[in-house]
Homo-oligomer: A and B are copies of this chain.
Amino acid sequence: MDHHDTDVCVVGAGFAGLAAARMLAGEGREVIVVEARDRVGGRVWNRAAEGGTVLSVGGSWLGVGQDRMFALCREHDVEVYEQYFDGDTVLRLGDTNHRYRGMIPRINPAALASLGVALKRLDRMAAQLPLDAPWEARHAARLDRQTLGGWLSDPTHVPTATARSMLDVTMKLLFCVDPAEVSLLSALVLARGGDGFEYYTDTAKTETHLVVGGVPALADRMAAALGERVLLEQPVRRIRHDTDGVEVTTPAAIIRARHVVVTAPAPLVTQIEFDPMLPAGHSHLLRRMVPGSMIRVQAVYERPFWRDDGLVGEAIAPDLPVAVTIDQSDPTGAPGVISGYVFGPAAVEHAALPAADRRRRCLDALVACFGPRAAEPVDYVETDWAAERWSLGAMIAHFPPGTLTSYGPALRAPVGRIHWAGSERATAMHGLMEGAVRSGERAAAEVLAAG
């Protein structure tokens, strides 16, 4: 066993952990980051597809207001480029492809209106929540005993079936589970962190830029700046803690520190042995913060052929296995990459199929949206985030009903010398890479303030 003594131990080398460690090191604190994987980045990952093309297969896009992420890219000489936007989106309903440009699909005006009214109504409810403590909102208990799925399925909220179907697929994509699993309050908390659901549903807001070399390049450079302070392949088994300090144990190392910042996703934190055990409020919260299933499907073509047809590479196809796509092509235009998403209960079913069947289903879906040229990619990869040992799901954890009102105050409260970060613990930009960075910096500030 290696023994380390340090000021702060950071558990997890995703953006939350890297941002926390960077800030602490910048303030002269000794830091050690322990990461379970053999790479940094967590839910961002540059992975080689079957044929060798390296693709960003996790978090990839930056958007409006994500100031910390853009600033970190600038500081680390990581270049960004604008998302391709010159073309029509495909909306496939039943067997028909509808095309539209911008945010407003060409669907039946009643459906369109009811979609807009429902989103506005949700946003109005979200705007009333206190950002830091939504469980203290006046109607918190009432909102938290409803599910997002229950709200959406109520015809008085969403009067047309088309609008319901579009909202359902949007919310399934955001939470990667059936909206029946998600507390209405917690869905509004997500919206509140981006000043409205529109922020999360409008690619012109959340997907304005891609990163040259993939956003994992930024994680790599942040880790490189930390140098030997980052220990890979060190899954944390136990955290002992008392009023004097903490002791973090991995299979190969024991790190003694004055504070620990835990940034790992909740289902991984519940696999760590805390000694003494965490207070019930905190461990109940952790056990309830569960992610869903998301399979990212990337098909690589010599060129982004869909642009020839005036298409932007985005598709919304609630009835297909790959229900959403977006253009993730190289800034040079070659290769062309379609990034598709299989999510929620559909991803659980998809994951159980043989690989050849999965590939056929996915390519058939792309053909339905973009035509026959989609059938023969030059490279292809599926990334099943629920099968990743050190993620156990994607994209983020949601809060089931009753969780925030019963256990919400534990979300960001330190437990003695244990501090908490991670995108799900962010207030603004909750669930995004930007939220992860901000949560890490907030936890680092807590440690600095503690002296």
Q: Which residues of A contact B (CB under 8 A)?
A: 141-142, 144-147, 149-150, 153, 177-182, 267, 270-271, 277, 279-281, 283-284, 287-288, 290, 292-293, 345, 347-348, 351-352, 384, 386-387, 389, 392-393, 400-403, 405-407
Contact = CB atoms under 8 A, between A and B. Distances in A.
B144 A180 contact: yes
Task: Return the 6 tightest CB-CB contacts between A and B, nearest first.
Answer: A180-B402, A181-B402, A145-B180, A400-B400, A145-B149, A145-B150
A400 B181 contact: yes
A268 to B, nearest CB: 10
A287 B267 contact: yes
A406 B349 CA distance: 10
Contacts of A177: 402, 406
26 contacts: A141-B180, A145-B178, A145-B180, A147-B401, A147-B402, A149-B401, A149-B402, A179-B402, A180-B402, A180-B406, A181-B400, A181-B402, A181-B406, A267-B270, A270-B270, A279-B348, A280-B293, A280-B348, A280-B352, A283-B386, A284-B386, A288-B400, A345-B406, A348-B406, A348-B407, A400-B400
A352 B276 CA distance: 13
A contact patch SS: helix
Contact of A280 (B279, B351, B400): B351
B406 A178 contact: yes
B150 A146 contact: yes
A230 B354 CA distance: 40
A284 B228 CA distance: 36
Contact of A347 (B141, B180, B280, B386): B280
Nearest to A287: B290
Contacts of A150: 145-146, 150, 401
Contacts of A392: 283, 287
Contact of A403 (B181, B347, B393): B181
Contacts of A279: 348, 351-352
Contact of A288 (B281, B290, B384, B389): B290
